[in-house]
Structure 1
Amino acid sequence: MADYLSKFWHTVPWASLGPFIGAIATVIAATLGALVVIWQNAKQARRATAQLRQTEAIKLKMRVYEEIVGLCRGAGDAEVDYSSYVSAFTTDLKLYRDMTGVGLNWNPPKGRLRTLQEKQEQFSSAVIAMIMLTERWGVLHPGLAMFRCAFNVAHHDALSAFGPYRDLAMRNMPLENPSIPQQPVLFPWALPNDETIQRIEVAANALTKAIGSFGGFIYDFQIDMQNLLLGELFEHQIAGREPLDPGVVVARLDDWAKLKDHFETNTPWGREKIEIEERVRKSYAPAK
């Protein structure tokens, strides 16, 4: 075999095959060069596609964050307006009592039942808007379901506290004569006694506490949304709030599953939700 290959090698006219071999080498080199160019172009295309996807993702995150900031700002304003109006009535009552007690002529409290109800409705609308936001952008993080529960809990507590406060405010807030809208005139009004003022203050404190819990959850939500949507872009994370009162619940994405379970099982809203679901489930059960 070795002799055969040796004879074959010496009998091949290599000189005459030189141009042919050169052409083949040229074709091979050109093919390899083309393949390298195609590979580089494909790599650049993949890199450009990834860069475009990342750019579009950043734009989307910014649009979502702008929407979140706008709704949080509106919800925060509604929360502060509502809470301030409730607190102001108690302050005005005490101030009227003290000033008239020393013989000074003092204006009655500025609180009005109709305005109170408007503040309450605006607050409820803001809470509902935040709940709908967590539903609309739930794809961002599974923990948004926890924030939805938190907002529902705060709304439930605020509605529960509003009833007793409204009943007291209805009987003790000055009432304007609706027949004279151009120049409001009050119906005869008398300052409630100290015991009633104390009851109003207790009810107001309970209501403002419930309203304030919603404000705390809004703050928690904004912190987590900054970290979730902007943290990678700015390479920075913001720490959540740490209330001095250990009994205050802080909503956090890093512990969302445990908090969601807490809201759904250990709060009046959660227990009421369980009861309603159980009644509905029984209503659909087949009759025995």
Structure 2
Amino acid sequence: MADYLSKLWHAVPWASLGPFIGAIATVIAATLGALVVIWQNAKQAKRATGQLRHTEALKLKMRVYEEIVGLCREARDAQVSYSSYARGFVTDLTLYREMTRAGLSWGLPKARVPSLFEKQAHFNKAVIALISLAERWGVIHPGLEMYRSAFSVALHDAGIAFDPYRSLVIRLMPAEIPNSPLQGSLFPWTLPDDATIQTLEVATEALIKAIDSFGGFMYDFQIDMQNLLVGELFEHRIAPRQPLDPKIVVARLDDWEKLKGYFENSTAWGKMANDIDAQVRKANEVRG
């Protein structure tokens, strides 16, 4: 067999096949080169596509973050305006009492019920806008559902605290005479007694505490959104809020599941929502 293969090898006219073999080698080399170029181009295209996708995702994150910043700015202004108006009334009332007792002339409190209602409505609208945003962009992170609950809790608590406060200020705030020829004319107003003012102070602090709890959650929200949406552009990350009072709840994305359970099951808003859900289910079972 070996002799046969040797004779066959020597019988082949290698000299005449040289150009043909060279052409084949050239074709093979060219084909391999083309395949390498195609592979490199495909790799570069994949890399470029990935970079483009990342760039577009970053642009979308920036647009969402800009929307968040705008709504948080409006909510912050509404929160400060609302709480300042409530605090300003009780402060003016106290100053009026002290100054008149000292025999000095002092202007009546500036707060009016219609203006208070406007500020409350503006605050409620700003909070609802953030709740809607958390629902609209829930795809960003599952923890946004926790923030939706946190904002709902704060809105509910502010509404509950407003009820006793409203009952007081409707009677205590100076009231303008409607359709009076003299703009700003007031109905007769008398200074409330010390016990009533003290009751108002308690109701005011409860309302402001509820309003400010929303401000805390909004601050937590802004921290998490900075770290989540634009954190990759910077080396620095912002640490969570750390209140001096350990009883104050801090909303955090890194613990969102536990916090979501707390908001939905251990707060007045969560218990109310669960009761409503239970009633609806029961009604559906009866109809079924």
Common fold: TM-score over 0.5: yes
Shift of 1:251: 0.3
- Aligned pairs for 1:116-265 (under 5 A) are 116-180=116-180, 183-265=183-265
State the secondary structure of the residue aligned to 2:111: coil
Output the CA distance in 2 between the equivalents of 1:182 and 1:132: 43
Shift of 1:231: 1.1
Match of 2:103 in 1: 103
Match of 1:283 in 2: 283
Output the CA distance in 2 between the equivalents of 1:126 and 1:3: 97
Shift of 1:182: 6.2
Unaligned runs of 5+ in 2: none
Match of 2:113 in 1: 113
| Alignment CA distance shift 1:73-1:181 (3 Å) | farther
In the alignment, does 2:112 pair up with 1:73? Answer: no
| TM-score of the superposed pair, with normalisation by structure 1 | 0.98
Identity %: 69
| Partner AA of 2:258 in structure 1 | K
Output the CA distance in 2 between the equivalents of 1:247 and 1:12: 95
Query: Which string of whole-angstrom CA distances, capped at 9 and with x for unpartnered residues, describes residues 208-234 of structure 1?
Result: 000000000000000000000011121
Unaligned runs of 5+ in 1: none
Output the CA distance in 2 between the equivalents of 1:217 and 1:282: 34
Output the CA distance in 2 between the equivalents of 1:69 and 1:40: 43
State the secondary structure of the residue aligned to 2:110: coil
State the secondary structure of the residue aligned to 1:178: coil
Output the CA distance in 2 between the equivalents of 1:18 and 1:91: 107
Output the CA distance in 2 between the equivalents of 1:255 and 1:122: 31
State the secondary structure of the residue aligned to 2:184: coil
| TM-score of the superposed pair, with normalisation by structure 2 | 0.98
Output the CA distance in 1 between the equivalents of 2:2 and 2:178: 121
Match of 1:48 in 2: 48
Output the CA distance in 1 between the equivalents of 2:150 and 2:125: 16
Name the count of aligned residue pairs. 288
Output the CA distance in 2 between the equivalents of 1:172 and 1:78: 23
| Alignment CA distance shift 1:182-1:48 (3 Å) | farther
Which of structure 1's runs of 4+ aligned residues deviate more than 4 A? none
Match of 2:31 in 1: 31
Shift of 1:278: 0.3
Shift of 1:181: 6.9
State the secondary structure of the residue aligned to 1:185: coil
State the secondary structure of the residue aligned to 2:186: coil
Query: Which string of whole-angstrom CA distances, capped at 9 and with x for unpartnered residues, describes residues 155-214 of structure 1?
Result: 000000001000100000000112137621111100000000000000000000000000
State the secondary structure of the residue aligned to 1:106: coil
| Partner AA of 2:274 in structure 1 | I
Match of 1:16 in 2: 16
| Partner AA of 1:274 in structure 2 | N
